[in-house]
A and B are shown apart, each in its own frame.
Chain A
């Protein structure tokens, strides 16, 4: 029995090619039925995400099955000359383990792919398209992914400015439920960051902008309240997280302005996320007690550090995966099957 993998991913094909290969949930049953008709193919799992479309098959005649798969894909895509990669076991086994662990993802260590693999496997099982070898392979892959994530730092840190800001807020306040965010300026990036906070259960969002109508519109969209720009400092007593993104040429949040306001806050921390260029907050406000100021450069630096840590962990992950590939291949040798 051989495990074959054929597919395209973000590494080999652009999105305009990938979208032609994509298999939607409504087409899955038909696609599985179709490829199961390929001579010599015992079972299949189709993984179709925005970054990859891959066919994992169990077969006793790899060459015939591979030709059959190529023919099917040619038909399906209207004869696109796609940069299709193909692997036979053990390379296909290693590939799946790497994919499940997030090592082959666009952002190394991302965890969404594992859920997508589980969905693809569950769908193939539901349509009766899997075999004993594929069942064992996917269950092993899920186990590998879990081990890699728990025993290495491949998922450590955040890889976007918005998620870094949310993580830092967690390290300052703990639970974000019931906290208040104020958007000082209604720019696109601050809106995205505010939405990240809303998705994590932030209690209240206050929006202020030089153009009040824009603030009111955004507040309505996010489900918050708008205040006039001249009154932002009066609302600061209740604010835990201040996201600045005005187009002001000079600092809006100055030490002089902030110091008396802090006295009214009963020692509650204030997290300032300054996404504006030129910066809205004076660098010296970070020296104030209970104030934590992060500008766009410092957030991007944390993203860079996280990615570096993840990249450094890849070698450890690969070693773990090698061991699991050997285990799976040994199991395959001991469970030779011609049909299932």
Chain B
């Protein structure tokens, strides 16, 4: 059942991605219902999938690398659906769907499947820590997507290309703001996740692997550094966009390692 739901969700995102590629290739892309419906469909199916696995595992379904990647995809879609319309960033969906599609595909083709059962012994602090951290990664994923859109629009404007993308991408000033705010949102959630993690250590006595701790602090500091530099005007919007993509790529590669370490503790 899990695999059927996941395959259906992946198909929805492939549909959105394929439609965008086709429409852009034909030079007549207009943000519209196809993307939104496909993403909404993918989100609903992923929610059902998470609910089903959470029920089977008896905990929040983030107990293996596979689980973590699927949960991160879900949180990315959730944040897109919440903030996309607010910022009139319809084309954000066109950029989000390929990222989520690839991560879902990687999760499905990877060697590790869903965990058979929960491993947190129902410790609420640990579960809160993991869930908040993964939603934060969702925000960071979307910040990276907004950053990519910023760089594309910046290039279109600098090179004076009046293609379909220029007309359909949101204004560059809005993209810069969305990029910075998403980093801020992710950073806030990650900080809250860390607080829950510390609470898990102190209240429930959960042990944290030192490498996992250092890697997580490194990512947290990376995003914190971007925010501070942005605040003191040492990082212009274009550099912020590049930095958010770079740190997210590092985080994306570090995530499997962190997950491996935390599951082998």
Known: A302-B162, A306-B162. A174 touches B171 (CB 8 A): yes
Tell me how far the C-beta of B171 lies from the nearest C-beta in chain A, rounded to whole angstroms. 4
Which stretch (B45-53, B131-139, B233-241) binds chain A?
Answer: B233-241
What mask results when residues 191 to 216 of chain A are scored 1 for a CB within 8 Å of chain B, else 0? 00000000000000000000000000
A36 at the interface (CB under 8 A from B): no
**Interchain CA distance A301-B27 in the complex, whole Å:** 18
Interface residues as binary, A298-333 with B (CB distance below 8 Å gives 1, 0 otherwise)? 100110011001000000000000000000000000
Cβ distance B193 to chain A, nearest Cβ, rounded Å: 29
B residues in contact with A156, CB < 8 Å: 167
Interface string of B224-246 (1 = CB under 8 A from A): 00000000010011110000000
Count chain A CB atoms within 10 A of each CB in B27, B162, B169, B172 and give the residue with the most.
B162
Q: B174 in the interface, Cβ–Cβ < 8 Å?
A: yes
Cβ of A292 within 8 Å of any chain B Cβ, yes or no, is yes
Q: Tell me which of A168, A267, A302 has the highest count of chain B C-beta atoms within 10 A of its own C-beta.
A: A267
- Contact B236 A289, beta carbon cutoff 8 Å: yes
Q: Considering the chains assembled together, what is the distance between the CA atoms of A308 and B4 in angstroms?
A: 47
Q: Are B237 and A294 in contact (CB under 8 A)?
A: no
CB contacts between A and B, total, < 8 Å: 53
Closest to A175 in B: B171
Shortest distance in angstroms between B152's beta carbon and chain A's nearest beta carbon?
Answer: 12
Interface status of A160 (Cβ within 8 A of chain B): no
By the criterion CB–CB under 8 Å, are A157 and B171 in contact? no
Does B28 belong to the interface (CB within 8 Å)? yes
Q: Which residues of B contact A164 (CB under 8 A)?
A: 162
> Which among B153, B160, B167 is the interface contact of A298 at CB below 8 angstroms?
B160
Instruction: Assess the B172–A172 pair: CB atoms within 8 A.
Output: yes
Instruction: Tell me the nearest residue of chain B to A290, going by C-beta.
Output: B236
A72 interface residue per 8 A CB criterion: no
Query: In the complex the two chains form, is B160's CB within 8 Å of A157's CB?
Result: no
Q: Are A153 and B27 in contact (CB under 8 A)?
A: yes
Other-chain residue from A171, A174, A286, A302 in contact with B158 (beta carbon distance below 8 A): A286
| B261 is an interface residue with CB less than 8 A from chain A | no
Cβ-neighbour of B157 out of A168, A267, A309 (below 8 A) = A168
Set of chain B residues within 8 Å of A294, measured between Cβ atoms: 160
Contacts of B61 in A (CB 8 A): none
Q: What 0/1 pattern do residues 144 to 185 of B give for CB contact below 8 A with A?
A: 000000000100011010101011011111101000000000
Q: Is the CB of A267 within 8 A of B174?
A: no
Q: How far is the CB of B169 from chain A (nearest CB, A)?
A: 8
Residue of B nearest to A305 (CB): B162
Interface of B (DSSP majority class)? helix
B188-208, CB under 8 A of A: which get 1 and which 0? 000000000000000000000
Q: Is the CB of B160 within 8 A of A170?
A: no
Tell whether A142 is near chain B: CB-to-CB under 8 Å. Answer: no
Q: Whose C-beta in chain B lies nearest to the C-beta of A152?
A: B28
- CB proximity of B92 to chain A, nearest CB, Å: 15
In the assembled complex, A173 has its CB within 8 A of some CB on chain B: yes
> Is B157 a contact of A171 with CB atoms below 8 Å?
yes
B27 A171 Cβ-Cβ under 8 A: no
Are A267's CB and B160's CB within 8 A?
A: no
From B160, B171, B239, name the one whose CB has the most chain A CB atoms within 10 angstroms: B160
Contact of A290 among B166, B170, B237 (CB under 8 A): B237
Known contacts A173-B173, A267-B236, A267-B237, A157 near B167 by CB under 8 Å: yes
CA distance A153 to B27 in the complex (A): 9
Q: What's the Cα separation between A47 and B154 when bound, in Å?
A: 45
**A157-B162, A292-B157, A298-B160 known; A173-B171 Cβ under 8 A:** yes
* Interface residues as binary, B13-30 with A (CB distance below 8 Å gives 1, 0 otherwise): 000000000000001100
How far does the Cβ of B89 sit from chain A's closest Cβ, in whole Å?
11
Given contacts A267-B233, A267-B237, A269-B173, contact A292 B158 (CB under 8 A): yes
Q: Which of B28, B164, B166, B238 contacts A171 (CB 8 A)?
A: B166
Indicate whether A172 sits within 8 Å of B238 (C-beta atoms), given known contacts A153-B27, A267-B233, A305-B162. Answer: no
User: Does the CB pair A171–B172 fall under 8 Å?
Assistant: yes
Residues of B within 8 A of A266 (CB): 233
| A294 closest partner in B (C-beta) | B160
Contacts of B176 in A (CB 8 A): 267
Tell me which residues across on chain A come within 8 A of B238, comparing CB atoms: 289-290
Is B160 a contact of A174 with CB atoms below 8 Å? no
> Interface code A137-161, partner B: CB below 8 Å = 1, 0 otherwise?
0000000000000001100110000
- Find the B residue at minimum CB distance from A153: B28
The contact of A172 among B162, B171, B233, by CB within 8 Å, is B171
Q: Which 6 A-B pairs have the closest CB atoms?
A: A174-B171, A302-B162, A298-B160, A289-B236, A292-B157, A305-B162
Given contacts A172-B157, A289-B236, A302-B162, 7 further A-B contacts (CB under 8 A): A153-B28, A156-B167, A171-B157, A171-B171, A266-B233, A267-B236, A298-B160
* Contacts A/B (CB < 8 Å), 28 sampled: A153-B27, A153-B28, A153-B164, A156-B167, A157-B167, A168-B157, A170-B171, A171-B153, A171-B167, A171-B169, A171-B171, A172-B171, A172-B172, A173-B171, A173-B173, A174-B170, A174-B173, A266-B233, A267-B237, A289-B236, A289-B237, A290-B236, A290-B237, A290-B238, A292-B158, A294-B160, A298-B160, A302-B160
Q: Residues of B with Cβ closer than 8 Å to A?
A: 27-28, 153, 157-158, 160, 162, 164, 166-167, 169-174, 176, 233, 236-239
